[in-house]
Every structure is written in C-alpha cells, then in structure tokens.
Structure 1
Amino acid sequence: MDQSDTQISADEMERNRADRTLLADAARRAGTLAMRHFRHDPENWSKVGGSPVCVADMEVDAFLRETLLAARPEYGWLSEETADNPRRLECRSVFVVDPIDGTRGFLAGDPHWCISIAVVRDGRPGAAVLFAPALDRLMTATLGDGASEAGEKITVADRHTLSDCAIAGPSSWFKSEVWHEHSVRPSRYLPSLAWRFASVADASFDAAFARPRAHDWDLAACDLLVHEAGGRLTALDGRPPVYNRAELRHGTLAAANPGLQDKLLAVLRRVEEERAARAGISH
C-alpha cells in the first residue's frame, strides 16, 4: 500500500510531530560535534568493503544513540556505524540513522554531507530530519504534515516530461544512449545520497536516482521528505521501499514528482537492462 493511502490518527500525528522535534534538536547538536572535525583532517580509516569512516562518524553516532534512546527507550536502533542488533525487528518504531551521510565528501571538504535521522514505524518513515551543518540547512518532514525548511513548505518541481530535466545520479549511468533520446540534463555530483534525493524534495533537482545496494540509513529520511513534498521515491517496480527488515539493502531507486516518475522509471529499466547485458558480454 502506498503511504499516501495510510490513514493517520490524531495520536499518531502528534507522536510523529514530537519525534520530528526530537530529531531536529538532536541533529543540530550532533552537527556541532561534526563541524569540529570538518576540514580539520580527522582520523579516518576504511571499513570492510572499502568505504571510509572517520572519528566524526563515530562521535556523532554515539551522541545520537545516547540522546535519542534516552528519550525513546522503547524504540529500536539502526545505524550505519553501530553493529546491527536483530532485536530492532521486534520494535514497531525504530530510529534509522546515518551519522554522516557523504563521508567521502566530508573528508574532502565538500559541504554537501548531512546527518540523516528518521523514525520508521511499521516499515515506513513517520518523522525525518536531514541536517547539513556546513550549509546550515535543516529539512524536516512528518507523515501527513508536509516537508519544510526554515519554516517554509517545500515541494517537488512541477515537470511532466523528461526533456531538459535536471536529473542527479551516478555519472556512469548517464553514459547510456537512452538518456540522449530525452535530452535530460545530468546534474552535479553530490557526495550524500540522502541530500541528492532531498534535492528533489526542494526542487533543486527535477529527479534523482541511485544504483543498487543503498541501505536503509541512506534512504529513510529523504524518502519521507520527497513523499511529503509531493513526490514519489520508489523502486523500479513503482513500489516504495520498506524499512527495518532483515535485509537492509535496496535495488535501483528513483524519485520525482508523480507525473514524471513513471517516465523516469521506464528509462531506468532500459538503462539497467543495457548495463546488465554489457556485464554479461564482458564475462
């Protein structure tokens, strides 16, 4: 069932609003911690698989875990930088956190990284915050109550054809000739996947997509921002992601306004098939 079809009780709405306030306050305080390390050559190392992590990731993670679970001890916890505890699967409500989404950019001095926090309830986000401390930008969303930045509602772009659309995604995927049929405009690279999708919510981009293997913590907060800004973030089959499952990774995902989304998904399915065919030939 699409989230827009969900009926929200008054009690649920108030709980989501209270969670949003909690998340926003915690994100701002965590941002102060992160900024102490930004552009100061923080200690860093590589995780299994090669992705970078630094001392700022770990400090922010520890602060958020202590702060948020003290306020909501009955909630579960899922974070990129905390060893997964399967007890979260027994919790109706779970904090889903990426302490620093875009660590590569953080280490390179690029300001487009963010702290991503969501409360996922019954598999879908009910409250969400993205805070980009180096940009001093805070986006928030509550299920059924809209998305906003600096007290102003944000909405997705009102485009209904792919022609001349500003679309953000991995550069290698734009090498396909399929895109040239539609004259799209590939947009600048952002090191944070969450901020890439959030840039659809505030109409900085018309659309965005992500290659397979993004995790819950990359997506849960920006998913709600897009949804509450009037857009859709879905898999290639048109279904929204479900969070807090045993499997944390997702397939190819895309976000746009409802009038553009199906067109974008159709192109991405062709691109994905083309890439799969090429991979088969190379092997």
Structure 2
Amino acid sequence: MIRQAAEEAGAIAMGFFRRDPQVWYKEGDSPVSEADYAVDRFLKDALIGARPDYGWVSEETERPERDDTAGRFFVVDPIDGTRAYLRGEDTWCVSIAVVEAGRPVAGVLVAPALGDRFEATAGGEPTRNGAVCRVTQPGETATMSVAVPGSLRKKLGSEPAGAIRPEHPIPSLAYRLALVACGDLDATLIRSRANDWDIAAADLLIERAGGLLCDRGGNATLYRREGRRHGLLMAGSHDATRRLRRLVETIPD
C-alpha cells in the first residue's frame, strides 16, 4: 500500500519537476513549492483513506496537539530535498514511514528522477530496487567514507590520519541515509535540527541493513505523533557509529 502511494506521489512530483513550480518560504527561509503541497494532499488522502485509524505526521501538515507514541501513524516527507528539487537536481525523494510504539515498522523511499526505490519492514530484508541492502562494516582502523555537512567539517575532533574520508552530503537527508543503508557510503553525520519526517523511513532501512541511526549517546530515535527536531545524529554500522561518537564528542548540538 505505501509502495504504490509513494510511486504515485513520485509521479505527481515529476509532473512539476523542472517546470518552475510556485514557491513560498517558511520559517528559517526554507522553501516549499506547489509540488510539495500537491504530493502531501495526495498522500494524506491515499494513506489515511486506506488506514483511517492511523495518525498523520507530515512536514507540510499542521502538527497535531496529541503528543504520544500510541497506535500507528504515518510519518511523511512529500519531497525530501526540496532545495535540490527546485534547482532541478535529481537527488530528492518521497519518504513514507509507518510508526508503531515509537519505532518505524515499514518504510518506503522513492527517488523517481533517479529510478531508485528503497523498502523495509520490521520483519524483512531491506531492499533497493529489489536487491538486498547491507551497511558496510569498516574495521576499526579502515578509512571510512563519511558524508559530512560543511558546517560540521571544521568542528570535527581528532582521528587517526586517513581514517575518515569526508564526502559532500547529498541534499536529501532521507536519500543520503538510504545510501548508507545500501553501502554506497560507510556513514554520515547529521547536523542538528533534522526532523522526524527526514529520517523515519531511512531509519528502518538502516536498522534492517544491520546498522544504526543514533544520537551522540548511541540511542536510537523514538518517534512521536507531534513530530520533533533532533540534535546531532549519525548513521552507519554499529562499529562506524562508535567511531563517529568519539569524533563528535566536542561538537555541541
């Protein structure tokens, strides 16, 4: 059900892509386009229409007053990577997760401009276009490819020479995390203020691929119906995140 909804949502987004959609600006000078709103409306109608007893958390929908983890609810980003989308770049995606008891139990990411689809369930293998995903397992002294936002690069602590190879981050956080889940990147650092809808579906992908998306204390994220912003996060294999936790000890949230 969420796969079909994500694919149809991706098709709607492609209908506006590189066609100069109307744009508005939210708090923090964050852009939102008519494509974001069109995809959001479609997904809410399709998903809540199919599961009317589920709750709803979306970047483009007003937050509910209820703040708890009870029952199942959708966590949706209609277009993750809106800035890249508006620049005509391919690295954006539709992200849908189903959350139960604070953790994602199903997730789909569709990047239609790239022809990529990622899927995960709590009891199954995570896949990319049907092929099973696995995080990489770099050794304690192996060089790791780590996507690092520019604002964090200069703040990184000491690390043995050559042990970290910083990579430029992909604008869509959800897609970047999916690449960690599938081993295209060893790990990533995520600057403070990421939202639930940016990470929920990819969180499950990484977990089922044998990795971890966590805070600086190594704690996995709990998702709530109100949605929330997070401090500094990191993702990769369990060994990789342990190394990253040492690396960011001196960086404040």
Q: TM-score range by the shorter chain?
A: over 0.9
Match of 2:183 among 203, 211, 216: 203
Match of 2:59 among 71, 80, 86: 80
Between 238-247 and 149-158, the greater mean CA deviation after superposition: 238-247
Q: Structure 2 matches for 1:17-36, cutoff 5 A?
A: 22-36=1-15
Residue 146 of structure 2 corresponds to which residue in structure 1?
A: 167
Residue 133 of structure 2 corresponds to which residue in structure 1?
A: 154
Match of 1:221 among 182, 196, 201: 201
Please say if 1:186 is aligned against 2:169: no
The alignment covers a number of residue pairs equal to 252
Structure 1 counterpart of 2:213, which letter?
A: L
**Cα separation, partners in 2 of 1:177 and 1:140, compared to 1, 3 Å:** closer
| Aligned partner of residue 36 in structure 1, secondary structure | helix
CA deviation string 1:89-118 (max 9, x = no partner): 474100000000000000011100000100
| Aligned partner of residue 18 in structure 2, secondary structure | coil
Residue 84 of structure 2 corresponds to which residue in structure 1?
A: 105
2:72–2:99 contact (8 Å) kept in structure 1: yes
**Cα separation, partners in 2 of 1:228 and 1:26, compared to 1, 3 Å:** same
CA deviation string 1:151-193 (max 9, x = no partner): 2111001212364211012112112362564421111331101
- Extract unaligned runs of 5+ from structure 2: none
Q: Does 1 or 2 have the higher relative contact order (CA < 8 Å, sep 6+)?
A: 2
Residue 107 of structure 2 corresponds to which residue in structure 1?
A: 128
Please say if 1:260 is aligned against 2:211: no
Q: Distance in 2 between matches of 1:66 and 1:261?
A: 38
Structure 2 length-normalised TM: 0.94
Residue 34 of structure 2 corresponds to which residue in structure 1?
A: 55
Residue 92 of structure 1 corresponds to which residue in structure 2?
A: 71
CA deviation string 1:101-141 (max 9, x = no partner): 00000001110000010001010000000110100100000
| Aligned partner of residue 95 in structure 2, secondary structure | strand
Identity among equivalent pairs (%) = 43
- Extract unaligned runs of 5+ from structure 1: 1-21, 277-283
| Greater fraction of residues in strand | 2
Structure 2 counterpart of 1:101, which letter?
A: D
Structure 1 counterpart of 2:233, which letter?
A: L
1:210–1:252 contact (8 Å) kept in structure 2: yes
Which protein is bigger by CA-based radius of gyration?
1
Q: Distance in 2 between matches of 1:145 and 1:42?
A: 38
Structure 1 counterpart of 2:108, which letter?
A: V
Q: Distance in 1 between matches of 2:42 and 2:158?
A: 43
Please say if 1:65 is aligned against 2:65: no
C-alpha deviation, 1:147, in angstroms: 0.5
| Aligned partner of residue 183 in structure 2, secondary structure | coil
C-alpha deviation, 1:212, in angstroms: 1.0
C-alpha RMSD of matched pairs (Å): 1.7
**Cα separation, partners in 2 of 1:182 and 1:241, compared to 1, 3 Å:** farther
C-alpha deviation, 1:86, in angstroms: 2.3
Structure 2 counterpart of 1:27, which letter?
A: A
Between 120-129 and 160-169, the greater mean CA deviation after superposition: 160-169
Structure 2 counterpart of 1:169, which letter?
A: V
